[in-house]
Amino acid sequence: MKDFKIPKLSWPIWGLTLVFALWLKSSSAYNIQLSIGNLTEHFLKYQTDDRGTKNIFTFLPYGQLSIEYPFLKQHPILISAGSALPSKGRDSNITRWPYFFNISYKFVIAHEDTNSAWSFLAGSGIFVTKIWGPGGQANLNNGLSQSNYNLPSDPTYSRNMTLHFALQKMIHENIHLEGQIFVFNPIDHLNRSFTYGLNMTYHFGALFNDQTPPNNQITKPNIKPNKKVNPHD
Amino acid sequence: MTKKQLPLILLLLFAQLFSSKLFSFTFNNNVTLAFNQKNVAVHLAQGFCQNLNLSDDQLMSLIEEAIDDYWNTVPTSKLILVIGQKKSLSSSYYSDPLCSSGTSNRCTPNVTIKVDNDIVVSCNTNSTNFPSPAILASSMPNNFSGNTIYGSLVLINDTASNGFKSRNREQQKAIIAHEIGHAIGLGHSPVKDSLMYYSDVNYRTRLGLDDIDGVTYLYPKEQPFSCNSSAAFFVDKNLNQQSSKKKIQQNLQAVKQSILANFFSFTLAVVIAIILRIVFNQTKLRLRARHSASY
């Protein structure tokens, strides 16, 4: 029996969205951003010792590359791809690699001091966890004596659709701090889960645009200060 | 970045150095096995448990909590365990050994207590299964072919001096969850924070990261839809037209669901964002009005 698989539809959908975004604003795509930070997966979802301590923070460095498109005036779309480092735990045989793709809608929360503007992002994406190992067996206690247990071999990919929210705070002309959250299974109370990331992001500015706008044109809109109005005028 | 913000960043980096990560899990002996279906029921062999100080209904409730508090909480796994029924089974399930021959390393399942499908939990008093009261339970997939599990059996020690009855409810729940872990294909983990550690620990309320990774490996989540099962087109010359049509209908259904899932999640996010924006704008306008009024 031959097994024909449907192409993974999720990739074309996100790919088309990307092409659509590029096509809309291909001449003015700007604000390339690179983030470095730490990801804590499945916050409070598992215990980290035999006393019942739940996971609050775990060390998982990650990087994220984002492109910001002025899809609507002052409300750009941010397309991001991020990846944690493939890492081994205490068992060096097993490797685990989380990575993700997001498309988010960005709201610049206006602030008179543009160097400290806040932004809020909301969108969705796909979070992938790849797990693999070299195969073979491990000799472990079975309760009575020792037994050989199988280790993972071929890679498997777990794909989760996630909701994505983030809050950004400009701390410098080209740098912002960001806290982001990925919501897994939002409508299932049993396996709903939150993965959060804290990162620092550098804005490289325009890469494709001849008329290079200032780096912070999108994230820091030019807002006029409140004008004092004389009611008698 | 201001001087005030620098200590905060340094503190964050420092905290990262002292956090830990852990994942090490294994699968059942000899071969990596998993159920092929997404929903697996856990049934109870009724009327057997005499020395646990628990009625069948209490055991069913314990099993339900064990699957909901542990295995159904994994966000990256597609496996859904559901509580089954009380089943009337032959007394062999109460008295027979789990293995007909072999050692703990290589066990040949006893065919007289083979489980046809899903998972069955039964009490058992066989001295080969439970040579000591300290052995609280024993389990294994006992009906499998290739890499696919069709049925698994979980046996709880029901001998007069069993150690199960002296455990508190949370511990009993964790023991049943551990055995169900074996039933779905997981082996032991060498770390104490994992539910699949060979011994029970003082305080357990959740899975460990090893358990999450193990069940994710065996049953990876396939969102927005599965590429390997329901959404795969199987083209076989021997398949009759009717089953092909059924398969195609299932596939189309899966495609529709995937498009809806994509559309739903993005729309939901945008709607939430727009609502927040409106709320923010309203708040801003009010603040401005208050600010203007103060002049």
Asked if residues B173 and B63 have their Cβ atoms less than 8 Å apart, the reply is no
In the prediction, which pLDDT does B41 show? Answer: 96
Residue of chain B nearest A154, judged by CA positions: B217
pLDDT at A57 over 80: yes
pLDDT band of B215, cuts 50, 70, 90: very high
What digits encode the pLDDT tens for the residues B12-69? 443 333 333 333 466 665 568 899 988 999 999 999 999 999 999 999 999 999 999 9
Contacts of A150 in chain B (CB under 8 A): 26-32, 187
Q: Do B277 and A47 make contact, defined as CB atoms within 8 angstroms?
A: no
pLDDT at A155 over 60: yes
Q: Which residues contact B81 (CB under 8 A, 6 or more apart)?
A: B39, B40, B41, B42, B67, B71, B72, B119, B180, B184
- Asked, for residue B10, whether it belongs to a domain, the answer is yes
Mutate to test the interface with A, among B29, B74, B128 (most CBs of A within 10 A): B74
Residues B102 and B183 in one domain: yes
Contacts of B196 in chain A (CB under 8 A): none
Nearest-angstrom CA–CA distance, A86 and B193: 22
Nearest-angstrom CA–CA distance, A72 and A75: 5
Contacts of A187 in chain B (CB under 8 A): none
- Chain A residues 99-118 with CB within 8 Å of chain B: 103-105, 107, 109-110
Q: Do B15 and A57 make contact, defined as CB atoms within 8 angstroms?
A: yes
Average pLDDT for residues A121-126, to the nearest whole number? 92
Q: What is the pTM of this model?
A: 0.76
Residues B190 and B148 in one domain: yes
In the prediction, which pLDDT does B240 show? Answer: 39
Q: Which of B196, B227, B258 is the last residue of a domain?
A: B227
Residues B293 and B181 in one domain: no
Q: What is the DSSP string of B58-119?
A: HHHHHHHHHHHHTGGG-TTB--EEEEEEEE---THHHHS-SEEEE-SSSEEE-GGG--SSEE
Q: How far is A213 from chain B (nearest CA, A)?
A: 22
Residues B248 and B187 in one domain: no
pLDDT at A13 over 50: yes
Of A94, A143, A193, the CB nearest to B23: A94
Options 2.40.160.20, 3.90.650.10, 3.40.50.1100, 3.20.20.300; CATH for A10-205 is: 2.40.160.20
In the prediction, which pLDDT does B137 show? Answer: 92
- Asked, for residue B260, whether it belongs to a domain, the answer is yes
Listed by start position, the domains of chain A span 10-205
Mutate to test the interface with A, among B128, B144, B221, B244 (most CBs of A within 10 A): B221
pLDDT at B8 over 50: no
In the prediction, which pLDDT does B230 show? Answer: 33
Average pLDDT for residues B250-278, to the nearest whole number? 64
